[in-house]
Amino acid sequence: MRHTPRKRFGQNFLVDSQVVRDIVHAILPFEDNLLVEIGPGLGALTQPLLRSLKHLHVVEIDRDIVERLRREFPKEKLTVYSADALEFDFSALGENLRVVGNLPYNISTPILFHLSKFAKNIVDMHFMLQKEVVERMVAKPSTSDYGRLSIMLQSRFEMEQLFIIPPEAFLPKPKVQSAIVRMTPLKKPMIDASSEKLFAIIVAASFSQRRKTLRNTLQNYLGIEDFQTLQIESGLRAENLSIAQFIAIANYLVR
């Protein structure tokens, strides 16, 4: 049965067999891995992953695809959750979880932030995303791609862009290039739980007006004397600060 890709779900199905092999090789699944795939679609990754795994979990929002997957794969091999990944409780699957998926480009950032909440349950994550998003994820300070996404994710994960995938590998063909990124939770979190909420607020405020200086964007939080105590130049822009400096601001304000 032919499935028509649905724009509202951001569906672009992977159809290039060589790209599929490259992705599975990067994931390197082992038989007993607790692995969950987000947005399995028509099963381009699902089938080769199951050749290596005893069992696979998948989260899919499209009910037509859910029914299709349940028909094609036995329950003993595949558990299908008919759910929105943005609302799914990944901790319910257990610990030492590996996560993979071709994330819908229109909601990739919210999904990444949602998954960050479960970092302590996760071993690693491999995602196919829009290349521009991956470049922002792995960006370094004082570059045009460095921003809120870079800081919030790098404060929790080690990240590596693995390889680029051309639009021709998908059906329908997207207008952008894609890339595979590997995310591994840091063994020790960079920020204390007590400062975590304020850290997110400070980072968001700092980048709320990207071209303005910290003196302006953080005026509700820090005065000139505070910047001097922190040894941070108030005339800098948010993109010039390291993650450690943003953490220092949050810790200072908590104290």
pLDDT for 53: 97
How confident is residue 8, by pLDDT bands cut at 50, 70 and 90? very low
Q: What percent of the chain has pLDDT over 90?
A: 84
pLDDT for 10: 44
CATH of domain 7-185: 3.40.50.150
CATH of domain 193-254: 1.10.8.100
How confident is residue 106, by pLDDT bands cut at 50, 70 and 90? confident
Q: Which tens digits make up the pLDDT trace of 196-222? A: 999 999 999 999 999 999 999 999 999
pLDDT for 105: 79
Name the CA dihedral angle for 81, 74, 29, 34, rounded to a multiple of 10 degrees: 50
Confidence check: pLDDT of 24 > 80: yes
Cα end-to-end span (Å), the chain: 61
Confidence check: pLDDT of 235 > 60: yes
How confident is residue 11, by pLDDT bands cut at 50, 70 and 90? low
Contact 216, 205 (CB under 8 A): no
Contact 164, 131 (CB under 8 A): yes
CB atoms within 10 A of CB 236: 16
159/9: higher pLDDT: 159
How confident is residue 6, by pLDDT bands cut at 50, 70 and 90? very low
Q: Which tens digits make up the pLDDT trace of 137-181? A: 999 999 999 999 999 999 999 999 999 999 998 887 888 899 999
Contact 93, 86 (CB under 8 A): no
Task: State both tokens at 53.
Answer: 């795994």
Tell me the domain boundaries of the chain. 7-185, 193-254
Confidence check: pLDDT of 7 > 50: no
What is the amino acid identity at position 6? Answer: R
Question: pTM of this prediction?
Answer: 0.90
